[in-house]
Amino acid sequence: MLARLLAIMIKEFLEISRDEAARFILVVPPILQMLIFGYAASFEVYHVSTAVLDFDHSQESRELIARFTASNRFDIVKVASSQHEINETIDGSAAAVALVIHAGFAELLRKGQNAPLQVIVDGTNSNTALIALGYVNTIAEGFAQEYATDLAQRVQGFAPNTGATRAAALV
């Protein structure tokens, strides 16, 4: 079996070495594709159209929304006032991502509990949707970590200060 396969491979290599057009077809298009797709294909997504529905209207929810607008990954195109508006915005392809912050978001955060953030993603373009969802997770995790650190410092009653300030306070 392997002897037959080896014989066919040798025959094909000899045929390619004799035919200049075949060599061109086998070598040039893959090199061009590698060069073009290497520069054209990108897995970064910028300016994802985003709709926001904030039922909480707290400082914490506004801070979370500000983090999304501060990144160049998301553009807030609609601030909705109802779930129906969010559904229409996603279904009409006016936004690819929708963020829904439910009432009680800040209260749960202040208690040190998990505060859910509903993320609705238009899956029409699955690659963009998955990448945008990854960005949402990164921003939300960063917000949660910083808020938890800040909350722990406030609850324990200490503020971060330098060693010189501590020494001066002891004197």
Report the first-to-last Cα separation within the chain, whole angstroms: 90
Per-residue b/e over 80-118, b at no fewer than 16 CB within 10 Å? Answer: beeeeebeebbeeeebbbbbbbeeebbeebeeeeebebe
Question: What is the β-pairing status of strands 48-54 and 97-101?
Answer: parallel
CA distance 116 to 97: 16
CA distance 57 to 77: 18
Is the confidence at residue 166, as pLDDT, over 70? no
Mean pLDDT of 105-116: 92
Q: For the segment 67-79, what is each residue's pLDDT rounded down to a tens digit?
A: 999 999 999 999 9
pTM: 0.70
Task: Walk me through the domains of the chain, giving residue ranges and CATH numbers.
Answer: 48-156 (3.40.1710.10)
What is the predicted pLDDT for the residue at 40? Answer: 75
How is residue 152 written in tokens?
Answer: 């722990």
Report how far apart, in Å, the C-alpha atoms of 28 and of each of 20, 21, 22, 119 are: 12, 10, 10, 45
Helices (H) and strands (E) in the chain, counts: 7, 4
CA distance 155 to 114: 17
Helix (H) / strand (E) containing 120: strand 117-121
Amino acid making up residue 152: A
Mean pLDDT of 151-170: 57
Q: For the segment 117-145, what is each residue's pLDDT rounded down to a tens digit?
A: 999 999 998 988 999 999 999 999 999 99
The torsion angle over the Cα atoms of residues 94, 100, 103 and 104, rounded to 10 degrees, is -160
Residue 31 pLDDT level (bands cut at 50, 70, 90): very high
Residue 110 and residue 141 in contact, taking contact as beta carbons nearer than 8 Å: no
